[in-house]
Structures are given as structure tokens and as C-alpha cells.
Amino acid sequence: MTLRLEWSAYFAADVERRVDWYREQAGPEIAEQFVACVRSTLTALCRTPGLGRPRFLDWPELGSMRSFRVERPFHRHLIFYRFDGSRLLAERLIHGARDLPRRLTESPFEE
């Protein structure tokens, strides 16, 4: 069974910010490759949502969230998501070296 995919507004903003950065720093081809890797990773998660590991079980506002790495060569970016019986909600896309609990609770629109 494949889950229906939904992007949160925060996830969309995170993707847009990364694509803009790759476009400016590495060129449009790399930005397109990044988007393709994110989409491919999301497709895999929709097929097998249990791939990601549970995260932040001690943080009530982040409970039931999972994370999974974007495909190589962008594997330092993590997709944070939740799923139920019918949908996978992609909530954030954040570089793994960041202060994750803090970044997950901050709005990407305020940076």
C-alpha cells in the first residue's frame, strides 16, 4: 500500500530555501538533482513509512515524528515526517548537523 503524500507549509519552505541555495551555490542542475532525490526519498517513504526512525519521544510537540535521510549525495539532509493509515505528512527538511529539536519548533518563515 502506498500512502498519500502531503507537504506541510514548513516542509515546502524548507525545500524552497535549499533549492535556492543549491541553485545559487552549485547551479540549476544540482538544484534539480536535489529535488529529484527529495521526491525519490518521499516516494520510498510513502511505500514503506516505517523506514525512518522514531525521534524525540521525550518532546510532546514532536512526538510520533520520524526522520529519514534524503538519498545520496544529499544524505546530510533529513526529512521529518509523520504517517497514519492513509497519508504521510512531510513536516520539515533540515540539515542533520543543526540543533534539530530547536529548528523543528522554529518557523522557517522567520529566519
Predicted local distance difference test score (pLDDT) of residue 85: 84
Instruction: Give the CATH fold of the 4-104 domain.
Output: YaeB-like fold (3.30.2310)
Task: Report which residue type is found at 104.
Answer: L
Please name the residues in contact with 40: beta carbons below 8 A apart, sequence gap of 6 or more: 71
- The pLDDT of residue 111: 54
Q: Which of the residues in the chain have pLDDT under 70?
A: 1, 56-63, 99, 101-102, 104-105, 107, 110-111
- Residue 108 has a pLDDT of 75
Secondary-structure percent of the chain, ordered helix, strand, coil, rounded to 5: 50, 25, 30
Domain boundaries, the chain: 4-104
